[in-house]
Amino acid sequence: MKVQVAPDIRSVDDFGDHIAVRGYQNYNAYADRLEPVGDGQQHAWANTNAKWSAVDSVLGDLDGVKTYADLGCNLGLYVMTAAINHGLTATGYDYDKTYIQVCNTVKDKFSLPCDFTTKPFSEVDETYDCVSALGLIHHLYHHTESYGNLGSIMQQLAGLTNRYLILEFPNEHDPKAMKWVNLEGRIKNGEYSEAELLRVARQHFGTITVTGRVHPDRPIFLMDKGPASC
């Protein structure tokens, strides 16, 4: 059973030419661009500018990518970025219907070329050229779903991407991650650590690089199914 928490949404304001979204993700959405916003109220582990800069840069550098999905898309910032900034066919998934409602409000206002759905992670079976999972993996371990080990999560993630995975990993030093991976009454049959993540990820991806950090305990990895680098 998933552990439901209230969505982190402070405000959604329509100013005519743009919609200002404030919460876990903070941005202003226009018909032709997105502006990530650092409004001084963000958590250190959820800095919109830091994460957005890393993801936007990666998406701009990938070769042969036409389709993209963000798993645990929250308020839709990266899905809309992929669609507007990079011309990708983009889809967002989140188990929380309130987040999806906000995403669709912005999408419909500006007729953005992206889609959003509440299908749970464990039921996603479509594949994409690039998939991102940003601040999600510790929730899948025990919180919104209960995989209980990193190996099965990485196997599922690898099966959803044709080539690239952008993964933010709140590691074993991150207090939010430790809260969710140590819930009482949940099966825990695998270690939760950055070393274990890399061990199981190498079973599916030939090249793994750190492409940015939201926080010292939250590296963002770019994982590529292409041949291993020397």
For the chain, which domains are there?
Answer: 44-224 (3.40.50.150)
Three state DSSP letters for the chain: CCCCCCCCEEEEEECCCCEEEEECCCEEECCCCEEECCCCCCCHHHCHHHHHHHHHHHHHHCCCCCEEEEECCCCCHHHHHHHHHHCCEEEEECCCHHHHHHHHHHHHHHCCCEEEECCCHHHCCCCEEEEEEECCHHHHHHCCCCCCCHHHHHHHHHHHEEEEEEEECCCCCCHHHHHHHCCCCCCCCCCCCHHHHHHHHCCCCCEEEEEEEEECCEEEEEEECCCCCC
- Please write the tens of the pLDDT for every residue from 54-92: 999 999 999 899 999 999 999 999 999 999 999 999 999
What is the chain's mean pLDDT, rounded? 89
Confidence of residue 135 (pLDDT cuts 50, 70, 90): confident
pLDDT in tens, 167-219: 999 999 998 888 888 888 777 788 999 999 999 999 999 999 999 988 889 99
